[in-house]
Amino acid sequence: MKRRSFLLGSGAAAVTAASGAGFWRWQEIAPSVLYPGRDIGHRLRNLKPSDWPAPSAEYTTDVAIVGSGIAGLTAAWRLAREGHTRFVLVTGPEPHGNAASGLMTVGGERLRYPTGAHYLPLPSMESMHVRTMLADFGVLLDGATTTTPTYDERVLVQAPDERLFRDGRWQEGLVPGEGAIDEEHPATGLPPKRATIAEGSAIDRFFRHVDGLRETRGADGRKVFAIPVAFASADPRWTALDAITFAAWLARERYDDPALLWYLDYCCRDDYGADASGVSAWAGLQYFASRNGQARNADRGAVLTWPEGLDAMADRLEAGAFAPRPGRPLPLRLDGTALSIRETPAGVDVLCVVAGALGLSTFVIHAKKAISAMPLFVAKHVVASLRSDGYDPAYHASPVAPWIVANFAMNRFPDESRGAGLAWDNVLYGSDGLGYVVSTHQEIRVAPSPTTVFTAYRAMADRTPDDARRWMDTASASEVGTLAADELRRVYGWRFAPCVDRVDVTMRGHAMAFPAPGTLANPGLRALQAADGRVLYAHADLSGYSVFEEAAWWGWRAAERILG
């Protein structure tokens, strides 16, 4: 962790104006810049097996689950739910992985906030594994097997849910429509309405196109686009879209409106970490056509969200996995990072390391089977059987996108610009960033919360992943802070800095694999998806892109194979 000072200004200073008078204002903040897993990962990468200390503890179990992200937690939860509690979960360098969260105290209020993913779209019928979870957790209240279930109103995103900053004003909704009404109505003073989309425009044609794809089925009878992707059609007519980029497909179909192209780039960066020129046409359309969840008490396209983001789901999965069950042994949760997973005549040995105040120590788990629930860029250093199971990192590795997640503790809300009021998700038109979400948006209180956390997201898609990671490794805290606060400064100007008490920036150099052309046909991923030996694989990387439903599916599937 780096802890230095940076200036929440633009350039050498921030020139500001208030009440008609210009003045200089400096606000110095000491940010925490966090690199989850980086230091231990780089340290272990440079060690030889002979450098590792001898194990100081041994454990014997039926199943070792290595990794506590959504895939690993889903596997643990599913096993325990079925009464199979003889397992050990190794957390990895960051418990809950990309679903992790943090806690700040601001103005006497304890506020949760995400340091990873922050929402879950309403699950479609294909994502029955997610619906099962939500029903168990009391989030899905009724109708889990119907098209339109009922959800807990406290978890459905509340209005106003989205707004877009364009031409110095806010409009409701994120689609940059044509002829947008983005100022208060001069006669009534009513808030602005969502942008209008002209019939026959490129934006209108695109959305009509993808709406028609939602129920389209391939020659095998399956939906062309479904989530998890394991349920999507394998019809070659449609999987051929995996061979070209989304940008090339858009050009071919003459979707050339600049506002539409920006919006589609934004959507790809938001879900995949790469823009339309980096992901396949299949993946670009999958984003829109596969997410088909509905609710009896919410509009189509609504999402589920919590102040701490998807860590709310991770917490519930972990609590369910480790809840006492009469007549069953308690499973074991161990902090540590896997060094090696090797098959033995009796099963699998998992060697793990713990970095403590006194240095490194190791322990070993003897298991009948192991579930590798770690990213594949890590597994290639850890799982001895990876190549013999059909995955060669030199040929089959997916590109991995870096992300920055910055959390700003706000002692008060800054004054807003003209147009739509503060929403849960706030995005800037034309920006390389992904906007910011408001942690306290879902709170139900007599009066609005006086404090909050703004979480700003940025996928580093404006440079190659390797270049982005090199920048992350060498950038000063000042440079990191300047980039992290870029969009918020552009919206609020001088009004922003005085509202900030603290800044935590999480640097995720290998945040998520993204679906470049060729992902669907990747033989290495297909081999790991089908693996059913002593080492099983469970991670969103198996789908080639990192979203909750995919991670949970592979955890569910691995547990299913254990259960037989």
CATH number, domain at 467? 3.90.660
First to last CA, the chain: 44
Same domain, yes or no: 374 and 463: no
Single-letter residue type at 169: R
Domain termination site, one of 514, 530, 547 = 514
The 3-class secondary structure across 291-338, one letter per residue, is CCCCECCECCCCEEECCCCCHHHHHHHHHHHCCCCCCCCCCEEECCEE
459 and 555 co-located in one domain: no
* Claim to verify: residue 506 and residue 519 sit in the same structural domain: no
* Residue 261 domain flag: no
Residue matched to tokens 């957790």: 137
Residue 176 has a pLDDT of 87
Please tell me whether residues 492 and 507 are part of one structural domain. Answer: yes
Cβ proximity of 278 and 514 under 8 Å: yes
Whether 296 is in a domain gets the answer: no
446 with 432, same domain? yes
Distances in whole angstroms, Cα of residue 454 to Cα of each of 410, 413, 414, 436: 7, 10, 11, 6
The residue length of the chain stands at 564
Instruction: State whether 394 and 408 are in the same domain.
Output: no
- Write down the H helix ranges in 9-88: 38-45, 70-81
Q: Assess if residue 139 is contained within a domain.
A: no
Quote the CA–CA distance of 358 and 377 in Å, as a whole number: 28
Q: Which residues of the chain have pLDDT under 70?
A: 1-30, 177-200, 445-447
Of 480, 499, 514, the position where a domain reaches its end is: 514
Pair (447, 491) in one structural domain: yes
Output the domain CATH number for residue 92: 3.50.50.60
Residue 155 near residue 305 (C-beta atoms within 8 A): yes
pLDDT value of position 28 = 57
Q: Do 339 and 416 share a domain, yes or no?
A: no
Q: What is the pLDDT of residue 20?
A: 32
DSSP secondary structure code for residue 232 in this structure: S
Same domain (yes/no): 482, 413: yes
Determine the pLDDT at residue 30.
65
Angle at alpha carbon of residue 229, lines to 294 and 128, rounded to 5°: 45
DSSP secondary structure code for residue 52 in this structure: S
In angstroms, the CA 39 to CA 6 distance is 23
Identify whether 147 is part of a domain.
no
For residue 235, is it within any domain?
no
Q: Are residues 333 and 421 located together in one domain of the fold?
A: no
Cα separation, 211 vs 553, in Å, equals 25
Q: Which domain holds residue 385?
A: 39-99+307-398+515-563
114 in any annotated domain: no
Domain count, the chain: 2
Question: Is 290 inside any structural domain?
Answer: no
Instruction: Quote the pLDDT of residue 3.
Output: 28
Whether residue 436 is contained in a domain is answered as yes
Alpha helices of 114-154 — where are they, by DSSP H?
128-136
Of 81, 115, 529, the C-alpha closest to 311 is 115
Residues 501 and 520 in one domain: no
Tokens for 302?
């609504």
Last residue of a domain, one of 514, 531, 555: 514
Q: What is the pLDDT of residue 164?
A: 95
* CA–CA distance, 242 with 19 (Å, rounded to integer): 55
Q: Are residues 415 and 447 in the same domain?
A: yes
